[in-house]
Chain A
Amino acid sequence: MWDVESIGAEFSKVQPLFERLGRRVRELFEGDAKSSGIKAAITDRPKDVDSFVKKAIRKNYDDPMDQIRDKAGVRAIVVYQDDVSRVRDLIKDRFVVLHEEDKVAELGSTKLGYQGVHFEVMLKPGDLGEDHDLADLICEIQIHTRAQSAWAEVSHELVYKALPAPGPETERRVMLLQALMELFDREVGEIRIELLEASERKAARLLAVLEPHFLRLSGSLYDQELSMRVLDVVANLYEDESFGATEERLGTFITKNEQKLKQLFAGYREGGTGSNPLLLQPESMTIFERLEQDRFSVLDQWGESFDIRLLKRLADAWGIPLPENA
Chain B
Amino acid sequence: MDLGTFEMNKIIVHEVPKRLAHGDSQPPELSEIESPLDAAVRGFITEKLKETLNLAFEVVMQQSTESPVPDLISSLLGKNPIDFVEASVQMANHLYNSQHGAMSEGLLSLAAGEVDSRLCAVILKLEREQGTRFQSEVINGQRTFRLDNIEDLMLTDKTRVFKAALFFRPSDDDDVIEGHVSDDQRGKSSGRGVADFFLHSFLGCDFKEEPNVVTRRAWDASETFINAKVADPVRQNKYQLALMAEMGSASPQFNSVNFANNYLLGSDRQAFLDHLKENSVPTGNFKKDTELIKPALDQARIVSENGINVSGPLGAFKDRVAVSKKENETVIEIRDDIKRVGR
Contact = CB atoms under 8 A, between A and B. Distances in A.
A259 B40 CA distance: 22
Interface residues of A, number: 30
Interface string B102-125: 000000000000000100000000
A263 B46 CA distance: 13
Given A319-B2, A321-B55, A323-B257, A272 B39 contact: yes
Interface string B10-41: 00000000000000000000000000001110
Interface string A127-152: 00000000000000000000000000
Given A267-B7, A323-B262, A317 B270 contact: no
Contacts of A319: 2-6, 50, 54
A295 B6 CA distance: 20
Q: Which of A299, A316, A318, A321 has the most CB of B within 10 A?
A: A321
Q: Which of B47, B54, B270 has the most CB of A within 10 A?
A: B47
Contact of A296 (B51, B261, B284): B261
Given A272-B40, A274-B40, A317 B261 contact: no
A110 interface: no
Contacts of A295: 257, 270
A318 B39 CA distance: 19
A268 B40 CA distance: 9
B7 A316 contact: no
Interface of A: 259-260, 263-264, 267-268, 270-272, 274-276, 293-297, 299, 313, 316-326
Contacts of A276: 47
A147 B42 CA distance: 43
Contacts of A268: 43
Q: Which of A264, A267, A316 has the most CB of B within 10 A?
A: A316
Given A270-B39, A271-B39, A275-B47, A296 B260 contact: yes
B50 A324 contact: no
Nearest to A298: B270
B266 to A, nearest CB: 8
Given A270-B39, A295-B257, A323-B257, 18 more contacts: A259-B117, A260-B4, A263-B7, A267-B7, A267-B43, A272-B40, A272-B43, A274-B43, A294-B270, A296-B270, A316-B47, A316-B54, A319-B2, A320-B4, A321-B54, A321-B257, A325-B262, A326-B261
Given A271-B39, A271-B43, A272-B39, A323 B50 contact: no
28 contacts: A259-B117, A260-B2, A263-B5, A264-B4, A267-B7, A267-B46, A270-B39, A271-B43, A271-B44, A272-B39, A274-B43, A295-B257, A296-B260, A296-B261, A296-B269, A299-B261, A313-B47, A316-B47, A319-B5, A319-B50, A322-B257, A323-B258, A323-B260, A324-B255, A324-B258, A325-B258, A325-B261, A326-B261
B199 to A, nearest CB: 20
Contacts of B65: none
B283 to A, nearest CB: 6
